[in-house]
Amino acid sequence: MSNESSEFWSGARDTIPVVVGAIPFGIIFGALAINAGLSVAATLGMSLFVFAGSSQFVAAGLLAQGAGILVIVLTTFVVNLRHALYSAALGPYLSKLPQRWLVPLGFWLTDETFAVVVQRYARGDDSPYKHWYHLGSSVAMYSNWLLCTAIGMVAGTQLQGMANWGLEFAMVVTFIGIVVPLLRNVPMILCAVVAGAVSLLLREWPNQLGLMLGALAGIAVAMLAEVAGRRTSMPKSQELPS
């Protein structure tokens, strides 16, 4: 098996835990979209061409309320602003890839795939095929999301009140399991604590702005902690003038 193939299947395999966590989320979207009045083609098309869970939920709700296209586009844009942070984090690892790679990997970038592939990119080995790992993770998530949307559309016509079952909590538990092992130093721990606290305090803000501000606050605190740590460990002779 070539290195490309081994990386691809490793990426798909390592994504299985978040795939499992995303299954209820995808099924609920399919059910809600159908019950909100979207057609089968529109529901499948949204998962096929948008592929953004939170934005799809928001867009489906706005469409059901008869909102205009501009409102829907602007709202989903704000909801997905966090992907700019993901892109910035992955940018150094992907900077040498051609457009034929950057376009699909950019389209398939999700919270789950980012959480998986950033660990692979950060490993110290010099494998030139890490983007194949990224591709494997992306394809696994994309295939799962399309399949779960289809299952949800069928279930939505048979079962009522799926949104109240609390199945989406599986995704929260999955992300906790992914993030906690990554917290290896004080700046990382502070980042997670501050981001979580701010997001909870601002959870009532519209369009997930609280989540975005929580992420920015966590990053800011982590950067300050990193700078403070470096100054503390810097020899007296190398300290910067005040």
Question: Is residue 225 within 8 Å of residue 186, measured between CB atoms?
Answer: yes
pLDDT in tens, 181-224: 667 788 888 888 998 899 889 888 876 677 778 878 888 888 88
- Quick check: 241 pLDDT over 50? no
What pLDDT band is residue 68 in, cutting at 50, 70 and 90?
confident
3-class SS of residue 160: coil
Alpha carbon 7 to chain centroid, angstroms: 21
Give me the mean pLDDT over the 4-33 stretch: 89
Using CA atoms in the order 115, 116, 118, 119, what is the torsion angle rounded to 10 degrees?
120
| Stronger pLDDT, 235 or 188, i.e. the higher one | 188
- Which pLDDT does position 159 carry in this prediction? 62
* CA 142 vs CA 48, 109, 231: distances in Å: 8, 10, 44
Tokens of 1: 């098996």
- Which pLDDT does position 182 carry in this prediction? 67
| Stronger pLDDT, 18 or 182, i.e. the higher one | 18
Give me the mean pLDDT over the 67-79 stretch: 80
- Which pLDDT does position 240 carry in this prediction? 44
Calculate what percentage of the chain has a pLDDT beyond 90: 33
- Which pLDDT does position 155 carry in this prediction? 79
- Quick check: 15 pLDDT over 90? yes
Q: Rounded to whole angstroms, how far apart are CA atoms 65 and 91?
A: 38
Question: Is residue 74 within 8 Å of residue 58, measured between CB atoms?
Answer: no
What pLDDT band is residue 242 in, cutting at 50, 70 and 90?
very low
What pLDDT band is residue 141 in, cutting at 50, 70 and 90?
very high
Q: Rounded to whole angstroms, how far apart are CA atoms 96 and 215?
A: 27
> Per mean pLDDT, which of 32-41, 71-80, 86-95 is the most reliable?
86-95
Q: Any idea which of 50-54, 195-199, 234-238 has the lowest mean pLDDT?
A: 234-238
Tokens of 175: 């992300």
What pLDDT band is residue 157 in, cutting at 50, 70 and 90?
low
Q: Rounded to whole angstroms, how far apart are CA atoms 186 and 170?
A: 28
What pLDDT band is residue 117 in, cutting at 50, 70 and 90?
very high
